[in-house]
């Protein structure tokens, strides 16, 4: 039991150290990604049908759906991975019931579950989606985003959603399902909160901004997931250490009671034997 406590305590400290770095990364990335997304939404209504950026904003009848399930490569983090997997299955049976749904797994835990089903999707991706965790970089995530965007643009999918755990704090993660493609249009009846001056022109700017924004959104989701993973594992290992400590106390009490009972029985046997000899 002592060795178990030492292991879980050490894992908690390791996760706490990794959490600090992951938290700093998502804290720095989130304002940039959210602002870029805000600008994209504000100008998307002005996109012409011939603008390259409009390829990612076309609203089509949803027949084929791609779910990007973002999990971790390792376990021992409570319900962190199971929540994402359950949400993906729930969307298949409810919102996208009757449609052709495929699941792109970013993280080995989701791959282990969905590769046993006909929904598992790897076309053009191979092992890349969960190999990125070995050395997480924007360039690797951008490569995945580009492939997803290309497959949406050529009509392979009519909608793409990202399912991940959004980082709130070390002890709390929010299960999130976001529309990745097509680009979310402005709210109906809403107007842009800001007026933009485009230089050299809107088409050139948007052509570059739309793909960049989508890559940033996916990278943000994965950074959120990484920070959430370490927070969830730290919390899980903290609870495991506490439970091991409580179990140790219970076992020690049980052992002491059993030992005392054994000693008492031995004393009674000795006393009984002595009295028999005296008699």
Size (the chain), residues: 279
Query: For the residues 45-58, what does the mean pLDDT come to?
Result: 62
Residue 59 pLDDT class (50, 70, 90 cuts):
confident
CA pair distance 116, 155, nearest whole angstrom: 26
Question: Does residue 242 sit within a domain?
Answer: no
Question: Does residue 274 sit within a domain?
Answer: no
Domain hosting 104: range is 2-237
**DSSP 3-state of 32:** helix
- Residue from 36, 65, 77, 85 carrying the catalytic annotation: 77
Closest CA to 194 of 45, 46, 39, 53: 39
Q: For the residues of 183-195, what is the DSSP string, one character each?
A: PPPPPTT---SS-
| Predicted pLDDT of residue 47 | 57
Instruction: Please write the tens of the pLDDT for every residue from 145-162.
Output: 999 999 999 999 999 999
Asked whether residue 178 carries a pLDDT value surpassing 90, the answer given is yes
| Predicted pLDDT of residue 37 | 82
Look at 249 and 188; give whichever has higher pLDDT.
249
Question: Does residue 37 sit within a domain?
Answer: yes
CB atoms < 10 A from the CB of 210, how many? 24
What Rg value do the Cα atoms of the chain yield, rounded? 28
Average pLDDT score over the chain: 87
| Predicted pLDDT of residue 54 | 63
| Predicted pLDDT of residue 79 | 93
CB atoms < 10 A from the CB of 6, how many? 12
Q: Check if 77 is active-site.
A: yes
Query: For the residues 55-60, what does the mean pLDDT come to?
Result: 83
Least confident among 6-10, 20-24, 194-198: 194-198
Query: From the centroid of its chain, how far is CA 242?
Result: 25
Residue 131 pLDDT class (50, 70, 90 cuts):
confident
Question: Does residue 259 sit within a domain?
Answer: no
Tokens of 5: 């406590």
Question: Does residue 249 sit within a domain?
Answer: no
Residue 127 pLDDT class (50, 70, 90 cuts):
low
Question: Does residue 35 sit within a domain?
Answer: yes
Structural domains in the chain (count):
1
Residue 190 pLDDT class (50, 70, 90 cuts):
low
Residue 94 pLDDT class (50, 70, 90 cuts):
very high
Asked if 65 and 75 count as a contact pair (C-beta separation under 8 A), the reply is no
| CATH number of the domain where residue 6 is located | 3.40.1380.10
| Predicted pLDDT of residue 114 | 95
C-alpha distance from residue 167 to each of 226, 230, 249 (Å)? 8, 10, 35
Query: For the residues 231-251, what does the mean pLDDT come to?
Result: 91
Question: Does residue 246 sit within a domain?
Answer: no
Asked whether residue 116 carries a pLDDT value surpassing 60, the answer given is yes
Look at 103 and 210; give whichever has higher pLDDT.
103
Tally DSSP H helices, then E strands, for the chain.
6, 4
Asked whether residue 38 carries a pLDDT value surpassing 90, the answer given is no
Question: Does residue 209 sit within a domain?
Answer: yes
User: With the C-alpha atoms ordered 212, 217, 220, 225, is the resulting torsion angle positive or negative?
Assistant: negative
Please tell me the pTM assigned to this model. 0.85
Query: For the residues 179-190, what does the mean pLDDT come to?
Result: 73
Provide φ and ψ at 156, rounded to 5°. Answer: -65, -30
| Predicted pLDDT of residue 2 | 80
């Amino acid at each position: 039991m002592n060795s178990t406590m030492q292991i879980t305590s050490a894992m908690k400290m390791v996760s706490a150290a990794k959490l600090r770095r992951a938290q700093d990364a998502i804290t720095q990335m989130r304002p940039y990604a959210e602002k870029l997304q805000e600008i994209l939404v504000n100008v998307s209504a002005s996109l012409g049908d011939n603008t390259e950026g409009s390829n990612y904003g076309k609203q089509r009848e949803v027949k084929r759906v791609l779910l990007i399930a973002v999990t971790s490569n390792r376990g021992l983090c409570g319900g962190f991975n199971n929540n994402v997997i359950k949400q993906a299955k729930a969307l298949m049976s409810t919102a996208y019931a009757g449609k052709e749904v495929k699941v792109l797994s970013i993280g080995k835990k989701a791959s282990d579950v969905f590769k046993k089903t006909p929904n598992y999707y790897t076309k053009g991706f191979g092992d890349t989606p969960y190999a990125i965790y070995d050395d997480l970089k924007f360039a690797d995530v951008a490569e995945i985003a580009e492939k997803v965007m290309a497959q949406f643009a050529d009509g392979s999918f009519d909608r793409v959603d990202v399912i991940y755990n959004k980082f709130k704090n070390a002890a709390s993660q929010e299960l999130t399902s976001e529309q990745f493609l097509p680009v979310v249009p402005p709210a109906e009846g809403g107007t842009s909160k800001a007026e933009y001056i485009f230089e050299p022109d809107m088409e050139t700017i948007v052509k570059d901004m739309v793909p960049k924004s989508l890559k940033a959104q996916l990278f943000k989701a994965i950074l959120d997931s990484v920070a959430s993973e370490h927070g969830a594992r730290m919390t899980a290992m903290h609870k495991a250490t506490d439970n091991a400590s409580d179990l140790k106390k219970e076992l020690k009490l049980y052992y002491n009671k059993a030992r005392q009972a054994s000693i008492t029985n031995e004393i009674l046997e000795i006393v009984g034997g002595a009295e028999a000899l005296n008699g």
